A and B are shown apart, each in its own frame.
Chain A
Amino acid sequence: MADGETLRTIETVFRIERARLIGGLARLVRDVDRAEELAQDALVAALAEWPQGGVPQNPGAWLMAAAKRRAIDGFRRDKMLARKHAEIARDRDGDYDAGAEAIEAALDDDLGDEVLGLIFAACHPLLSAEARAALTLRLIGGLTTDEIARAFLSREPTIAQRIVRAKKTLAEAGLTFAVPRGEERKPRLASVLEVIYLVFNEGYAATAGEDLIRPSLCAEAQRLGRMLAAAMPEEPEVFGLLALMELQASRFAARTGPDGALVPLTEQNRGRWDRLLIRRGLDALARAEALGGASGPYALQAALAACHARAAKAEDTDWPRIASLYDTLRTVMPSPVVDLNRAVAHSMAFGPDAGLALVAGLEEEAALATYAPLPAAKGDFLFRAGRRGEARAEFERAASLTRNARERAFLLARAAACDS
């Protein structure tokens, strides 16, 4: 193999193995920062040895063995070692002497688990959501701090500092890097799912001409969701979130027109929806429901997305089902925005008066006082109910509230149409 090619091979293998290595090492040394260093040391060792000897049969096991050897050397050298640490070192030394085969077997048994433990640590509720997202992308996604900064439209020193602090917080908390069980599991899992969806949404919000690293966040979040689903096949909300992401991502190519403007869902060219992702999304949703998770917040949102995905034409959309899903969603995820969407769904399912009845209760809502979609929706209900004059006033009000020029033009056009 040519030198350049060997280097690329080694880097790629390392990239694939990195999260697993760090996860396994973090359990050994109880410190992500040190684990990351040890993984890096293993890469250096590979760069020194593989160009001569070739890439080993099981590169993951090789890297882990090399990193553990470094960890043990570290334990031995450190004069300030606690006795307990020395014992760990002796134990691990035994492991190592037993040969690569034993390590390989241990790796095989524990594979998903080590990465999973690392995901749970990176998404620990001790950390802010932003810190969790940055640390997850760094440790599991393998993104550099520069890439993370670009992805979150932030500055590199800010992200670097955030990661350093997060690692320190975790080290001080004395985590075991195990997958949480029992009572702790549910809130910890919720924290993981929140971070993955935050990463996904950050990518979904990316705009034209922006750094390509931003849309790639969606792919990263989907990959994390898929890994989580493989590692936790009994958790309904994991599948709910995965379904939601796959279904939303399936509309990527169709959500903008040739001029770059957003195309509303009902007007999208459904032939451009990604059938593979839709199928994966529907499968994941079915799984969430089979596990008894139909009323989880992610599963419900996925079920809403699925109603659209299942309709070959916009007219085929099952609006009564969407309306009923919103009825449930507002009880598990109360929000005025959900309520407004619920009103829209009811108007589509049962006519404009149903929408008007629901929206009436929302007009007192302070959070929606200057929220353009509220008068826009109300204007639409009134228009469809034949109350053109009132509709016009609502569209004009909505136009005055929006900060989006394209949307303002659209709303003013609707206001003008009330006169004809």
Chain B
Amino acid sequence: MRVMVFVKATPDSEKGLPPTAEMTKMFEAMGKFNEELVKAGIMLSGDGLKPSSHGKRVAFDGPNRTVIDGPFAEARELVAGFWIWEVKDMDEAVAWVKRCPNPMLGPSEIEIRPFYEMADFGEAVTPDIIEREERLREQLKDR
């Protein structure tokens, strides 16, 4: 299953502080963790986001579109970074998140959200095409 793992913002991350020695150390630890994720074959993607002062929101109400400039209040509700992982289940995602070094200097939170699985394999292929030869043909046709 695919999950998105959100690193929540904190008042500090929202300030976009210039890196201190402490933060450099934190980034190093995070780099090592990222390497582990890659080695385990679960990391599909991941990145950090700038503070919400760089962001914008667009509010929808019927035909109206209102643009709101950042920064936005409630740091806990904001996202500072994310990963996309392919894991076997939520337990595995939780186990990996627990191994994550502290993502922020102060207390912080990481949230895990599973993707909808588009196909969910329910509507997959018809049962009459299991013949190996036909399968080979499908693969080649696909290329």
- Chains A and B bind each other: yes
Binding site for B on A (CB under 8 A): 8-9, 11-13, 15-16, 111-112, 115, 201, 204-210, 212, 215, 219, 222-227, 230-231, 248, 251-253, 255-256, 258, 260-262, 264-265, 272, 274, 276, 280, 301, 304-305, 308, 337-338, 341, 371, 373, 403-406
Contact B126 A260 (CB under 8 A): yes
Contact B137 A373 (CB under 8 A): yes
Contact B124 A223 (CB under 8 A): no
Residues of A within 8 A of B125 (CB): 205-208, 255-256, 260, 262
- Among A212, A262, A305, the residue within 8 A (CB) of B121 is A212
Among B10-18, B20-28, B66-74, B128-136, the stretch that binds chain A is: B128-136
Contact B140 A404 (CB under 8 A): no
Does B119 lie at the interface of the complex (its beta carbon under 8 Å from any beta carbon of A)?
Answer: yes
Shortest Cβ distance from B2 into chain A, in angstroms? Answer: 9
Residue of A nearest to B42 (CB): A223
Contact B141 A341 (CB under 8 A): yes
Contact B45 A406 (CB under 8 A): no
Report how far A201 CA is from B136 CA in the complex, Å.
9
Residues of A within 8 A of B142 (CB): 248, 251, 255, 265, 305, 308
Main secondary structure of the interface of B (DSSP, over half): helix
- Among A208, A212, A222, A262, the residue within 8 A (CB) of B86 is A222
> Besides the contacts A201-B135, A248-B139, what 12 more A-B pairs have beta carbons closer than 8 Å?
A8-B91, A9-B91, A111-B36, A112-B39, A219-B86, A223-B42, A226-B38, A255-B142, A256-B123, A262-B125, A337-B140, A405-B128
Among B48-56, B57-65, B92-100, B104-112, the stretch that binds chain A is: B92-100
Residues of A within 8 A of B44 (CB): 276, 280
- Among B94, B124, B137, the residue within 8 A (CB) of A215 is B124
Number of interface residues of B (CB under 8 A): 42
Residues of A within 8 A of B94 (CB): 12
Report how far A276 CA is from B86 CA in the complex, Å.
12
Binding site for A on B (CB under 8 A): 35-36, 38-42, 44-45, 84, 86, 88, 91-92, 94-96, 118-119, 121-143
Report how far A226 CA is from B85 CA in the complex, Å.
12
Residues of A within 8 A of B139 (CB): 201, 204, 248
Residue of A nearest to B128 (CB): A404
Residues of A within 8 A of B36 (CB): 111
Residues of A within 8 A of B84 (CB): 276
Residues of B within 8 A of A308 (CB): 142-143
Residue of A nearest to B1 (CB): A219
Q: Closest 5 A-B residue pairs measured CB to CB?
A: A226-B41, A227-B41, A223-B41, A304-B143, A253-B118
Contact A16 B96 (CB under 8 A): yes
Contact B134 A404 (CB under 8 A): yes
Report how far A405 CA is from B91 CA in the complex, Å.
43
Residue of A nearest to B94 (CB): A12
Residue of B nearest to A305 (CB): B143
Residues of A within 8 A of B95 (CB): 9, 12-13, 16
Shortest Cβ distance from B115 into chain A, in angstroms? Answer: 10
Report how far A219 CA is from B86 CA in the complex, Å.
8
Residues of A within 8 A of B135 (CB): 201, 204-205
